[in-house]
Amino acid sequence: MVLSNTERKIIEDSIRDIKDFPKPGIVFKDITTLLNNKEAYGVLMNHLYQRYKEYNLDYIAGIDARGFIFGAALAQMLGLGFVPIRKKGKLPYTTISEKYSLEYGIDEVEVHIDAFGNIPNAKVLMIDDLIATGGTANAAATLINQTGATCVEACFIIGLGFLDGQTKLKETTEVYSLIEVN
């Protein structure tokens, strides 16, 4: 399932660029304007539903925090469970975690040890709003696979193609980005 040119334009036009945020030289892709645009959000969610309805998925996993917005809505549309992948220390039950490198240090994501139930080799779609350098996404995909589930694809609303994140992530799972920014 590929976005039509009209659908792509509706989604692209709804994403606001914020220059020099969070620091000089960065152009931040603000999705809040996509979320509050019912036409654009509807086009986006319908596209995701059409793309993934035949994947025979067991779960959708969303990365903290914007991945929750798209992941939970898509899980409901597909009749699936939703699993949050959170920053360290945010989940109340026993977790497993995966560390990843940041520009100035290390961070960590976690998931509950029983997040994917008792389904052997559960098929999981991972989703987030954007992939840049891919540290968080790689850690999250690795974490899904460590639970005994399989991350069948990582989906992003925006892929920053000029960074190497998608290339690195393709070593772990398939990658789909609706909007490519080069």
For the question of residue 16 being annotated catalytic, the response is: no
Q: Considering 8, 103, 153, 174, which one is annotated as catalytic? A: 103
Are the C-beta atoms of 148 and 118 separated by less than 8 Å?
A: no
Going by C-beta distance under 8 Å and a sequence separation of 6 or more, which residues neighbour residue 175? 131, 153, 154, 156, 159, 166, 169
Quote the pLDDT of residue 81. Answer: 97
Q: Where are the domains of the chain?
A: 55-181
CA distance 82 to 59: 6
**Region 20-29: what's the mean pLDDT?**
93
CB burial of 89-112 (b: ≥16 within 10 Å; e: otherwise) equals eebeeebebbebeeeeeeebbbbb
Residue 45 near residue 78 (C-beta atoms within 8 A): no
Residues 40-85 have pLDDT tens digits of 999 999 999 999 999 999 999 999 999 999 999 999 999 999 999 9
pTM: 0.95
Catalytic residue selected from 51, 66, 110, 180:
66
User: What would the two tokens of residue 48 be?
Assistant: 């995701």
The answer to whether 51 is a known catalytic residue is no
Q: Provide the CA 27 distance to its chain's centre, in angstroms.
A: 20
Q: Which CATH class is domain 55-181?
A: alpha beta
